[in-house]
Structure 1
Amino acid sequence: MRTFIAFTMTLCLLGGAWLLQGPAFFWPDRLDPSQGVFLSGLSAQLLGAGLLAIAGLGTMVIARAARGVRGAPTRGWQLRYFLLILLTLGLVSAAFSLGERGPNPDWRTPDNSASTS
């Protein structure tokens, strides 16, 4: 589990740092890849900040586990963790809300010519 958390944190740190530069890219819709959201500038930076916040959440969990603390976390730790989760959700939601929805510029309809006789 620690390896998975470390891998996820590394991806979030690298991806978040890259997205803070504001590169433009298209995020296809999961159910319909011909549609999606174009993220650039501020929306890409908000998504990058959200990824960095996820890495911060992982850091909080790892630091608590490294201290060998048993039992329930303190009320203050839980409050900070909850607020960071809310911040993360807000940043990612704002990124996708500000992104431009539309057709995928790289979408091509599936080729059915092989099925014709």
Structure 2
Amino acid sequence: MRSFLASVIVLCLLGGAWLLGGPEFFMPARYDPSHGVHFSGLSSRLLGAALLLLAALGLGVARHAGRGSGKPPSPAWQWRYFLLLLASLVLIGTAFHAGEPGPSPHHRSPQ
């Protein structure tokens, strides 16, 4: 489980750092890849910030679990964690709202 957590944190760090540059990309819809959301500029940066925040939260959880005390974290720590997790979800939602929904630039209609 530690190696999985470490790999997810590294992927969040790398993906977040790349997305902070504001690259353009298209994310297809889940059930219909001919439509989706085009991210660029601000929306990419918002996704990058959310990924970096999630990586920081994962590091905090791993650090607390690594102490091995067996005691739960303090209520203040739990509230801080919850609010930062909520902030990352708001960033992701804002990025999807700021992105441009539309047809896939790579999809060809069957003829």
TM-score normalized by structure 2? 0.95
Report matched runs for 1:48-87 at 5 Å.
48-87=48-87
Q: Distance in 2 between matches of 1:92 and 1:79?
A: 20
Q: CA deviation at 1:69?
A: 2.5
Larger Rg belongs to: 1
SS at match of 2:72: coil
CA distance in 1, matches of 2:36, 2:69: 44
More moved, 90-99 vs 62-71: 62-71
Pairs within 5 Å for 1:38-49: 38-49=38-49
CA distance in 2, matches of 1:63, 1:31: 38
1:3-48 Cα deviation digits (max 9, x unpaired): 1100000000000000000000000001100000000000000000
Q: Report % sequence identity.
A: 56
> TM-score, normalized by length of structure 1?
0.90
**Distance in 2 between residues matched to 1:4 and 1:110, nearest whole Å:** 41
Aligned length: 111
Q: Which runs of 4+ in 1 moved over 3 A?
A: none
Map 1:92-107; keep pairs closer than 5 Å.
Answer: 92-107=92-107
Write out per-residue CA displacement over residues 56-86 of structure 1, whole angstroms, 9 at most, x where no aligned residue: 1111111101222312221011011101111
Distance 1:40 1:9 in 2: 24
* Separation (CA, whole Å) in 1 of partners of 2:100 and 2:89: 19
Pairwise CA distance, 1:91: 0.4
Instruction: Return the alpha-carbon distance in structure 2 between the equivalents of residues 59 and 110 of structure 1.
Output: 47
